[in-house]
Amino acid sequence: MARITLDKLRHSYMETPAADADWALKQVDITWDDGGAYALLGPSGCGKTTLLNIISGLLRPSQGRILFDDRDVTAFAPDQRHIAQVFQFPVVYDTMTVYENLAFPLRNRGVDKATTDKRVREVADFIDMTHRLDERAKGLTADGKQKISLGRGLVRTDVNVIMFDEPLTVIDPHLKWELRSKLKELHQRVRLTMIYVTHDQTEALTFADKVVVMNEGEVVQIGTPVDLFERPQHTFVGHFIGSPGMNVLPCTVDNGTVYLGGDAVAVANDAAGAAGGSLEIGIRPEFVRFAESGLPAHVVKVSDAGRHRIVETRCADQTVRMLIAEGVEIPADGVQLAFDRANTRLYADGWMVGGNSVAGGAQ
């Protein structure tokens, strides 16, 4: 296993990139510590697959370096990097048995029979496939095949990093829970460096100790799940993480006081630091509640999400969503809303006013 450093990486698929938009990766500096569980999270087209391909060596970056510990591997071919990868769709040899599939990466590298056998059985036990080792992979369901793919990713012990590229997308929700917690459990036991690439916030947040959030070729924030939830540095992070995402409400600031419509709203950061630009209040639906006196609003729609309800309100001509727990009554019309001050923040041009830089809690 190794510490992985991405040093001033930039990449463009064009020959002579000029404009900012020509860069698929604008500039990325990240250090992933040895043995950590990381996620790379962002929407389609944010550059996460480009970054993954650069780390695995399938793509040579236009600029910058990749270091494994202190060794520069930028010019290394994929097979010289000792990386295990698990893809979105199962990569399984149908004609081989489950055992042979799991053994394949080891046999390929001339690992001796006894060691191979031991590893295959350990991994099979982990993915609950011990009883099916002699079956042909062909007869397995999509879930079963993806388990074999995971197993093959985990079977080598000499890898620098294991990378997962949307590994659970084709898996049913019930099994997703099972496989995801298995991966997490495995990580807590063996402490391998793992990088998990996904657009699914739940997978990223529950798997990783630290999440790298990307948008439009840039890293927007690196932090623990709690950082990203409680202190989004950018409205994109606030919106992208959480379901529904953070309410982002255009506002005005006068003399250090923040106003939503005509009403003053107390915020946690120092509004006086806002030097113009487009100003917005960010507050998560979890931190809005009904109050005796507060911002006047009316309820537009209540959606039942089972363990809570998502209440859509109109407040100061804007949509404000709130999460209301099971059993809490929703007042009829003419409601008042209170924003929890500690979790209400002012953003200027998307960035939290007085916030840290992108890599706030990077290392």
Using CB under 8 A as the criterion, which residues of the chain lie in contact with another protein when the complex forms? 43-45, 141-143, 172-174, 177, 180-181, 184-185, 188-189, 199-202, 205-207, 224-230, 239-245, 284, 286, 303-307, 310, 325-327
Please say which residue, 75 or 226, places its beta carbon nearer to another protein. Answer: 226
Find the shortest distance in angstroms from Cβ 352 to another protein.
Answer: 16
The single-letter DSSP state of residue 66 is E
Q: Are 159 and 2 in contact (CB under 8 A)?
A: no
Burial track 154-167 (b if 16+ CB lie within 10 A, e otherwise): bbbeebbbbbbbbb
Interatomic CA distance for residues 161 and 53, integer angstroms:
13
Interatomic CA distance for residues 30 and 352, integer angstroms:
21
Please say which residue, 9 or 52, places its beta carbon nearer to another protein. Answer: 52
Find the shortest distance in angstroms from Cβ 105 to another protein.
Answer: 26
Find the shortest distance in angstroms from Cβ 205 to another protein.
Answer: 4
Interatomic CA distance for residues 291 and 339, integer angstroms:
9
Interatomic CA distance for residues 223 and 38, integer angstroms:
10
Please, what is the end-to-end C-alpha distance for the chain in angstroms? 18
Find the shortest distance in angstroms from Cβ 171 to another protein.
Answer: 9
Burial class (CB in 10 A: 0-12, 13-18, 19+), 311: buried
Find the shortest distance in angstroms from Cβ 330 to another protein.
Answer: 10
Helices 98-107, 113-126: axis angle to 10 degrees equals 130
The strand pairing partners of 174, in sequence order, are none
Q: Classify residue 81 as left (phi > 0), alpha (psi -120 to 50) or beta.
A: alpha
Please say which residue, 35 or 78, places its beta carbon nearer to another protein. Answer: 35
Find the shortest distance in angstroms from Cβ 244 to another protein.
Answer: 7
Please say which residue, 58 or 330, places its beta carbon nearer to another protein. Answer: 330
Find the shortest distance in angstroms from Cβ 361 to another protein.
Answer: 13
Please say which residue, 243 or 257, places its beta carbon nearer to another protein. Answer: 243
Find the shortest distance in angstroms from Cβ 90 to another protein.
Answer: 14
Token couple for 352? 């939290």
Interatomic CA distance for residues 299 and 344, integer angstroms:
21
Please say which residue, 226 or 342, places its beta carbon nearer to another protein. Answer: 226
Helices 142-154, 113-126: axis angle to 10 degrees equals 130
Rounded to 10 degrees, what is the CA torsion of 172, 175, 176, 180?
-160
Please say which residue, 161 or 228, places its beta carbon nearer to another protein. Answer: 228
Find the shortest distance in angstroms from Cβ 49 to another protein.
Answer: 13
Please say which residue, 99 or 240, places its beta carbon nearer to another protein. Answer: 240
Please say which residue, 252 or 303, places its beta carbon nearer to another protein. Answer: 303
